[in-house]
Structure 1
Amino acid sequence: MTDNLPSLRETLDAHGLLAKKSFGQHFLLDLNVTRKIVRFAGPFEGRAVIEVGPGPGGLTRALMESDAGKVVLVEKDPRFIPLLSELDDGSGRLTIVEADALNVREADLTEGPTHLVSNLPYNVGTPLLIKWLTGPWTPCALTLMFQKEVAERVVARPGEEAYGRLAVISQAVAEAKLVMHLPAAAFTPPPKVASAVVHLVPKTDRPDRDLLKSLERVTAAAFGQRRKMLRSSLKQLGGADLCEAAGISPEDRAEVIDLAGFLRLARVAAGLPSETVPRDTGPVLARRKRT
């Protein structure tokens, strides 16, 4: 049991370990907080859990206390492997993989439905999320901590300042909800920004691979020049003709187009068959005054 282990701070001191800025490391040492995150993520009912970037193991301890089955840790920093090995309770539940999570094949780590629960390193949080949401391997749920700004971008709605490509891609494939805020002071060392936890559950009717690839292209173009009208920002993909075919006003900007609108644009851009496309009779959100 984790109650018999020394505190996380004592463990770090005993191993002479400090956070590495180059790895985007900020340690969460409060077990009350890590247990709360695990409660948001569960129940696991014996399913496997993958944790990326466990560091000193604060979240790992809470996972080992939970009803998770196999717990797989993916840690890039070799300094933490001996420390994490001390959390092995002899049950065979804990597996430690020394690797860069961006290059790992998650399907090789577990079998059956698997949860992802992680306090993600700040410098790779977004690329890891895109990998898990758009790649060939799909977890049954993801409970992930990001910088607050990134978390808000994942759950943002049309018309909000944080709304952009990350929101559209995330919400196309998953139901996303922000479940917890954490101040910078909760971490050691404290980062310059606050953090937040997002819980995502992949949709059963998520776009197929071709539509998803097209959605990535369309959103990259639209939000790459987000202050321009779509007829200009999407010019390389068809511009006004593309918008008209998708039932979208070419004079709109990306920030007011909802998920359904972007999916129509992506389907037309990819030449995929679609149902009858409704004409755009005006967005749900009030369009901003043209300047």
Structure 2
Amino acid sequence: MTGARLNGDGASYTEQVILSALIITINLVGMAGNVAVLWFLGFRVRRNAFTVYVLNLAGADFLLLSFPLILSLIFAILSSRGSTYPFYLPALLLSMMYFPYNAGLSMLSAISTERCLSVLWPIWYRCHRPRHLSAVICALLWALSLVLSILVWKYCLPGHEYYCVKIHCTMASWLIFLLVVLLESSLALLLKILCGSHRVPLTRLYVTILLTVLVFLLCGLPYGFFMFLLVRVESFNYKYFSRTYLVMTLLSSVNSCANPIIYFFVGSFRQRQRQPLTEVLQRALQGSPEDQE
């Protein structure tokens, strides 16, 4: 992957400052929200099959928010001194973001798929689902994301173009597979809620899942495409790189920041009295009794 200077002609200094300030603000809010989700789900809320996934999704979102925050802070410091980025810095941090991005998409696909299975085959889900399936799947997805990211960090350097292209093709295939699974399971869940003679009731958990998927498709997916286009960054016009990078990073930050807001909004919707955040979060993620682990 080839680096690029983010303070080139693509965006004016004012545009860069404004976009970077927005990124820093949104990332700080999102990190605080995801820390709250990690705290409540880790120590205060009773576990079920889906809170395990959401707990890991919040961890991935926290990491995904931290890297652009670091990059934006470095930009602010260097800009105040009149300095420029080292050429390798954007490429290094962007490659590091593969890890939480892969993990986050993997967790979201697992959430949608498992809830879809519980609706389409409820008897199997109640009787034959392994007790700790969620934890095992999350561990495997984290491990796979880490391995793929390590390969990117190791081989996507100057002089390893042949291996880099193969690694990126492998990762792209994996992410396309996850995206297809996410879309199919979400569509099947939506159709089961809206259509058919045996429609399932629209619970808060379904609303949470569908809103999270929708926000990812609008804000998180464009950033994934952007990351893989950087493999061919030599064909890009560097004149537009800085603006594109900042806009894509802003969208990704909105996606990761929105998830905790969705949880607390869905959990508190139509509740006239103020309630503890623990109960609000548990209400948004509460599944059927058979989901309890």
Q: Please, what TM-score do these two structures have when normalized by structure 2?
A: 0.26
Whose relative contact order is higher, 1 or 2, with alpha carbons under 8 Å and at least 6 apart? 2
Q: TM-score, normalised by structure 1?
A: 0.26
